[in-house]
Amino acid sequence: MALRPHEPAAGGGGSARFADWLARTQDSVRDHVDEFVRVRCTAELDPAGFSVPAQLMIDFASGGKCVRSVFAYLGWLCGGVGESESALRAAASAELLHAFALVQDDVMDQSAVRRGRQAVHLRLAAWHADQGLSGSSARFGESAAILVADLYLVWAERMLRESGVTAAALDRAWPRYDSMRSELAVGQLADLCNDANRVPALGAVMDIARRKSGNYTVRRPLELGAAMADCDETVMGLLGEYGEAIGEAFQLRDDLLGVFGDSSITGKTTGDDVRERKATTVIALADQLAEPSDRARLRDLWTHEVIDERGVALAQAVITDCGARQRAEQMIGDRLEHARRLLAAAELEPSVADALYRMALLCTHRTH
């Protein structure tokens, strides 16, 4: 990779070099996704007369922060086999898989906003209405979004298969890739089975968070890249432990942002997790830490089918006052520190270890 030899994570020069490397890697990921979808895939949409969704699919898929692709590529770099455009293309396929997950989740959660714009199913519904087609535009939007997600899922795998990495590397990747995709769907199923009327238990929530979001965001992409590069068991073990810690911290941060995040930065409505009575770590922490009277108010709020602005403000106050917000920050800090120690003791190329640590910082201290 382009990073120079290791410097302490606090070092100013290393930070600038990492920022530069990250920006270039993200740009390359987006370019690969854009090119693959534009050149290889969107021709398949022509029979549906679907030029608008084609552009929408390209824009949406290359519009993320590329967290999963960057982790997958870092996993590859842990193998010590150096930079590779094929491996980067393989890593970039994670953006298409993520686009699949987001589009489908937004239909299920009936989310209105994603990546600072109208969610895909609503944009498709608007297209349906603009065209003056018959039937329910809302229903069309949801169905069309599910199909768009299907295409992302199929294209993601095709992009990985046609990335140019060797057949042996792919053979090592497939079992992990299949498990990751199953885990994603099963995690979402578990989420659906959560009882919205009850404030969730912390253990259960952490378990879902680990499997659904943490694994999928950090650990599995890292392992996928590392498997392609044929990393040994020691490195795989290290990345698994690092990935689990930072995946959990990522989810804790996400859950804090879901309650307190600034909508102009997150691209989602502030307090959405409260409004949707989601089973998140931060809510479960508050239920555990709050005084009996506050806990009762929180649990009562959770039985309401509709939660208004006052309800959101109440939940925010309870979560802050009982120390749950602080506790979540502390849990994030603990996990970051654990990852730092793991990386310090690991026999990785220093520049790669440094990048992993800085990615952990980014994932846990982000504002969106």
Closest distance of CB 186 from a second copy, Å: 5
Residues 205-264 within binding reach of a second copy (CB under 8 A): 207, 211
Q: Which is nearer to a second copy, 41 or 78 (CB)?
A: 41
Binder among 11, 112, 166, 198 for a second copy (CB under 8 A): 198
Helix (H, G, I), strand (E, B) or coil at 114: strand
According to the binding rule CB under 8 A, does residue 185 interact with a second copy?
A: yes
Rule CB under 8 A: is residue 174 a binding residue for a second copy? yes
Q: 237-250 burial string, b = 16+ CB within 10 Å, else e?
A: ebbbebbbbbbbbb
Q: Return the range that interacts with a second copy (CB under 8 A); candidates 18-26, 49-57, 73-81, 218-226.
A: 49-57
- By CB under 8 A, residue 196 contacts a second copy: yes
What is the CB-side half-sphere exposure of residue 85 using CA atoms within 13 A? 3
Show the CA angle centred on residue 121, arms to residues 115 and 122, nearest 5°.
80
DSSP for 221-279, written as a single string: HHHHHHHHTT--HHHHHHHHHHHHHHHHHHHHHHHHHHHH--HHHHSS-TTHHHHTT--
When asked if residue 181 is in the footprint of a second copy (CB under 8 A), the reply is yes
The number of residues that bind a second copy (CB under 8 A) is 49
Binding a second copy (rule: CB under 8 A), the pick from 15, 86, 118, 179 is 179
CB of 224 vs a second copy, minimal distance in Å:
15
Give yes or no for residue 150 binding a second copy (CB under 8 A).
yes
Q: What share of the chain is helix, strand, coil (3-state, %, to 5)?
A: 75, 0, 25
Neighbours of 300 (CB within 10 A): 12
Task: Looking at residues 103 to 132 of the shown chain, list those that interact with a second copy (rule: CB under 8 A).
Answer: 104, 107-108, 131
Closest to 287 measured CA to CA, from 301, 306, 271: 301
Nearer to a second copy, 191 or 255 (CB): 191
In whole angstroms, the minimum distance from the beta carbon of 155 to a second copy comes to 8
Q: Is 144 in the site for a second copy (CB under 8 A)?
A: yes
Tell me if residue 26 falls in helix, strand or coil.
helix
Q: Which residues, at least 6 apart from 292, have a Cβ–Cβ distance to it below 8 Å?
A: none
Residues that bind a second copy (CB under 8 A): 41, 44-45, 47-50, 53, 104, 107-108, 131, 133-135, 140, 143-144, 146-147, 150-151, 153-155, 157-158, 161, 167, 174, 178-179, 181-183, 185-190, 192-193, 195-198, 207, 211
